[in-house]
Amino acid sequence: MLMRKLQTTYNLEPAGSHGVWGLDDYHFLPFAFGASELINHSEIFPDSIHVDKIVDLYYDDYIYLGCIKFIKSVFIIIYNI
């Protein structure tokens, strides 16, 4: 939560080599644990992160999709998409 607050407050990109490395170094755990929640899920597949309807429907239920929704929301703020 602290990393998300810093990223939104200072408009920092929360992703990989183009983002804030110090923050992202510790932000991979929600992705690792969240991805494990979705193993053998009957409706959500790896490419489902590109389907906004699925992300919006399940982001409160699954850590991984919550992370994806946050990243998408930050990019909308930063790039005014």
Quote the tokens at residue 46: 């790896």
Predicted pLDDT of residue 77: 64
Whether residue 23 has pLDDT greater than 70? no
CATH of the domain at 25: 1.20.120.1150
Domain boundaries, position 11:
2-79
Show the tokens assigned to 49.
């992160």
For 42, residues 6+ apart whose C-beta sits below 8 A from its C-beta are none
The tally of CA atoms less than 13 A away on the side-chain side of residue 45 is: 3
Q: What is the pLDDT of residue 10?
A: 75
| Helix (H/G/I), strand (E/B), else coil: 51 | coil
What is the value of pTM for the model shown? Answer: 0.69
More confident residue, 78 or 59: 59
CA-CA distance, 55 to 26, in Å (whole number)?
23
Q: Give the total number of structural domains in the chain.
A: 1
pLDDT at 18: 55
- Say if residue 75 is exposed, middle or buried (CB neighbours under 10 Å; 0-12, 13-18, 19+): middle
